[in-house]
Amino acid sequence: MDAIPAEESARDLFMSGFTQSFLLVFLAEIGDKTFIMVMLLANKMNKFILWLLATIAMNIMNAISVTIGTIFPLFMPKIVISIVVIALFFTFGLRMLYNGIFHKDDGGEDELEEAKETLEKLDALNEKREPLLPDGQRQVPVAPKSSWKFWERSQYTFFMFLLMCTEWGDVSQVVAIGLAAKYGMVSIILGGGLAFAACITFAILLGSCVSKFCTERIMSLVSGCLFTGFGIRELYYVLSGTA
């Protein structure tokens, strides 16, 4: 008889971690620099290859974050982890609400320009050019040596590497670390992984529509409310002794 409540508790814990990771990662990535990069490349690359590479790159970063998060319970008390998660939720939530309320909505032009600049650097690497140097300092392009390995000259490798670098230290990565410390590895990997896959799918198929109607201010307000709401929820659990 005692096994049933334990099973229900484990299932509730899994669903709570899965739901939070999916919603928070999805909303954090919509309209982000990664989203815009994928959207801009949708007309230049095979869509399935683009989706596959971007999904793999984002899930690698998600797995790294979750792995880091699962290490914390080994040397930190559960109550401390709960407090850290609450602090993360309120910090990101209030910051997003502030950005949504007080910052001027430029239609995501800053993110768009940053994404375009990053893709231009990717093209420069692929074509072995040096666009950031003055004309007098540029070297004459040299044909790549045949001894180069495939991964060293592949545009797909550069693309995945850029996505992973762009994602490093992002809100979604910090959230995954905090949630993994509280809810464990499996639910956060699945929830975050599906969120990245869904976000990339939106970017490829409906990117222009999403960017047009879901402005940076709207997404900041929605994400801020969600982060703050989850923070209040976690704080209630701690105060009530059910955390």
Which tens digit of pLDDT belongs to each residue from 143-186? 444 444 444 455 677 777 777 777 777 788 888 888 888 888 89
How far is it, in rounded angstroms, from Cα 172 to Cα 167? Answer: 8
The CA radius of gyration of the chain, in Å to the nearest whole number, is: 21
Q: What is the pLDDT of residue 175?
A: 85
Structure tokens at 99: 């950005």
Q: What is the pLDDT of residue 172?
A: 82
Any idea of the CA torsion for 108, 45, 23, 243, to the nearest 10 degrees? -110
Q: What is the pLDDT of residue 154?
A: 59
Average pLDDT, the chain: 75
Give the start-to-end residue ranges of the domains of the chain. Answer: 14-130+150-240
Q: Smallest Cα–Cα separation from 175: which of 227, 123, 119?
A: 227
Q: Do residues 238 and 79 make contact, with C-beta atoms less than 8 angstroms apart? A: yes
How far is it, in rounded angstroms, from Cα 222 to Cα 109? Answer: 19
Q: Smallest Cα–Cα separation from 83: which of 170, 173, 181?
A: 181
Burial 140-175 (b: 16+ CB within 10 A, else e): eeeeeeeeeeeeeeeeeebbbebbbebbeebbbbbb
Q: What is the pTM for the complete model shown?
A: 0.70
Q: 30 vs 42, 102, 144, 204, 208, CA distance in Å?
A: 16, 20, 37, 12, 12
Consecutive 10-residue runs of the chain (243 residues): their mean pLDDT?
A: 55 88 87 77 80 90 90 83 86 86 62 61 54 46 45 63 76 86 89 92 74 69 85 85 67
Q: What is the pLDDT of residue 189?
A: 93
Structure tokens at 224: 């801020």
* Alpha carbons within 13 A on the beta-carbon side of 41: 30
